[in-house]
Amino acid sequence: MEKLKMHSPNMTQENIARVREFFPGCVTEARGEEGKLRMTVDFDQLRQELSESIVEGPQERYHLDWPGKREALLTANAPIAKTLRPCREESVDFDTTKNLFIEGDNLDALKLLQETYLGKVKMIYIDPPYNTGNDFIYEDDFAENADEFLTRSNQKDEAGNRLVANTESNGRFHSDWLSMMYSRLKLGRNLLRDDGVVFISIDDNEAPNLTKICNEIFGEKNYIGIISRATGTRMGTGSRGVARELDYLLIYSKADNYSLQKLPMSDGQMEIYNEEDERGKYLTRSLRRTGGENRREDRPNMYYPVISPAGEEVYPIAPEGWESRWVCGKETYARLVEEGYIAWKKIRKNGEEKWQVYQKHYLNEDGRESSDLWADEEGNKKATRDLNALFDGMKIFDHPKPVSLLKKILQLGTNSVNEGIVLDFFAGSATTAQGVLEQNSVDGGNRKFIMIQLPEATNENSVAFRAGYQTIAAISKERMRRASKKILESECHQNWNKDIGFRVLKIDTSNMKDVYYTPDVIEQVQLKAFANNIKSERSPEDLLFQVLLDWGVDLSLPIRKEIIKGKTVFFVDENALLACFDTAVNEEFVKELAGFEPLRVVFRDNGFVSDAVKINVEQIFKQMSPSTEVKSI
């Protein structure tokens, strides 16, 4: 019976497999330091494959480099032996919600999500440390190879001590910040859908560098733009003569054919759509350009006759008598006619009726393109006041982003009905989560969120600590609880499903003992002691979630528990996966499970009543449920 690997994917080996698909001659077998054969890339040959001239040595090229860049890429690809453990007591509507809150290191979390959410996230928003010299950044350890990284990741659980102050006196001030961002953005990009988009808040400290690494990760063609946002507060002292009152939103897409959604119009703007046909409400705009800059001689290809309903030729003549031009060329006009976007009206001019041609603009198709300058004088100040009010007047968190900002980003980056997943892996006080819930409540959307936040310790002298919130993650969860209650008390869209819950999952070391990952180092005399390869303190539900991660099953699917012939069985989304981690499993019980015809089933490797039963399990399923995939841990 095949065993689950129970660790995050080795991105290096998967990348090598992709290279092999396109350039099979550039991938070969080589022995690693431990003597095992593994696939490796012949980089000299690959460089030659990608060059139109003979490659003899390093070439100068345009790129951003810094000390630690290669190590950052290495650690992004290295697998980890960690898991997500469910925490029902801190969750809201654990069994039914589609939202996730992951507590732990965001680098670990992004690795753990690679199997399950690869290519499934619609939008990423992050508000990372701005690297002002006072911020904390993640202290990543790059000084080991992939196998060492995998082994060490299962030895201890790290929490808030993962952060270090990045002061300007640090000799790697920019380099450490770039390494932190590079590895996380590389993993984040993998999770985006083909129509996915990422928004990153930043100030002018690292905006130029962030743009360069995003050009490398997402592709320069996928740069959508940068929005300047007036924060309403001074973010710097202005000691050099210019006080900073702006921060920025850097926007990239996964694919170069992607465009942002248009912003919805206000009630006043909607009133101008005063005509209606079978498609809905519309307004008409003249196809003739007006103004002295739009004469025929400026664009002669835009001056041509179109045929009116009466069969007459109509030219773009201005009221003043000079020859104007149309707003589009002949091919575009023909397409508009074919698609039903052209309207003709008779107008009276100088006592005479004449045909005029217009283009229809439908309400359900129109919207406003976003400006690259967002002015909001109350922005950050109002965000702080609103968050304080949510926590009964306490100043519980410094410098939160406005919920209105997140709602605007959600309108640009998602469609209200597309079941899109929104990911924030620097969740902070969970403004993004509140924004998702509020926007859903307004437009009836089905957006789901995944928040990731380290349990970073709050200052012992802070209001938050004295109020009982000892970590930033604790503040995040409490904000979501309070905001959800407030949203439900307000007027909500009739089509909203009112999912205001979140399933809390905490990053921890693997549920499996070291012997699971290194069985070849166990001597024969030790085998009996290691017969049970699962840590004693782990629950069946802990095991279930590691199986979901390993098998790439959605972590938000509904889960129910049932007792069958005295054994506990987990049903994930009914028959998407059945799991039983009890011992003394016999053939009668196996046949009972096979009767459900699940897509997947998993057992404990040492959970069978005898070796004979273990051997027969796959045969039973082949006979009773041949499409079921059977594995063990």
Report d(CA 206, CA 201) in Å as an integer: 11
Residue 149: pLDDT above 70?
A: no
pLDDT in tens, 510-530: 998 877 766 555 555 444 544
First to last CA, the chain: 10
The pLDDT of residue 73: 83
pLDDT for 231 equals 85
In terms of Cβ atoms closer than 10 Å to its own Cβ (0-12, 13-18, 19+), residue 377 is exposed
Report yes or no on 64 lying in a domain.
no
pLDDT tens for each residue of 461-483: 999 999 999 999 999 999 999 99
% of the chain surpassing 70 pLDDT: 88
Range of the domain at 285: 267-362
Tell me if 46 is assigned to some domain.
no
Tell me, yes or no, whether 465 and 378 share the same domain.
Answer: yes
Question: Is residue 16 a part of any domain in this protein?
Answer: no
Supply the pLDDT for residue 445. Answer: 92
Q: What is the mean pLDDT of the chain?
A: 87
The pLDDT of residue 403 is above 90: yes
Contacts of 348 (CB under 8 A, 6+ apart): 354
- Do 286 and 227 fall within a single domain? no
**pLDDT value at residue 614:** 92
Same domain, 187 and 281: no
Residue 432 has pLDDT above 60, yes or no: yes
What distances in angstroms separate CA 390 from CA 394, 395, 479, 511, 578, one per listed residue? 8, 10, 8, 38, 41
Tell me: do 399 and 486 sit in the same domain.
yes
Residue 484 and residue 556 in one domain: no
pLDDT of residue 435 exceeding 90, the answer is yes
Q: Would you state the structure tokens that stand for residue 188, as one six-digit string?
A: 């984040």
Domain assignment present for residue 346? The answer is yes
Examine the domain organization and report whether 496 and 540 are in the same domain.
Answer: no
Please give the average per-residue pLDDT across 10-34, as a whole number. 78
Number of domains in the chain: 3
- Based on the fold, state whether residues 467 and 579 are members of the same structural domain: no
CA distance 267 to 270: 5
Beta-bridge partners for 347 = 354
Does residue 389 sit in the same domain as residue 452?
yes
Q: Who has greater pLDDT, 433 or 5? A: 433
In this structure, what CATH number is given to the domain that contains residue 424? 3.40.50.150
pLDDT greater than 90 at residue 498: yes
In the predicted model, what is the mean pLDDT of residues 454-460?
92
- Looking at 362, 391, 406, the residue that finishes a domain is 362
Residue 131: the pLDDT is 86
Task: Report the 10 Å Cβ neighbour count for 105.
Answer: 25
| Residue 358 pLDDT greater than 80, yes or no | yes
Instruction: Please tell me whether residues 326 and 401 are part of one structural domain.
Output: no
Give a yes or no: residue 543 inside a domain. yes
Across 221-379, where does the E strand assignment appear?
223-230, 246-253, 275-277, 280-286, 306-307, 313-314, 342-349, 352-362, 373-374
Assess whether pLDDT exceeds 90 at residue 68.
Answer: no
Question: Are 246 and 324 contained in the same domain?
Answer: no
Write down the pLDDT at residue 157: 52
User: Is the pLDDT confidence value at 603 over 70?
Assistant: yes
Residue 28 lies in a domain: no
SS3 466: helix
Tens of pLDDT, residue by residue over 111-125, are 999 999 999 999 999
pLDDT tens, residue by residue, 245-272: 889 999 999 998 888 888 876 667 777 8
What pTM value is reported for the model? 0.81
According to the model, what pLDDT value does residue 64 have?
84
**What pLDDT, on the 0 to 100 scale, is given for residue 315?**
92
Q: Which residue has the tokens 């009221």?
A: 319
How many of the other CB atoms lie within 10 Å of CB of 201? 19
pLDDT of 105 reads: 94
Same domain, 379 and 459: yes
- For residues 212 and 288, state if they share a domain: no
In this prediction, residues 568-584 reach a mean pLDDT of 95
Q: How confident is the model at residue 273 (pLDDT cuts 50, 70, 90)?
A: confident
Last residue of a domain, one of 309, 339, 362: 362
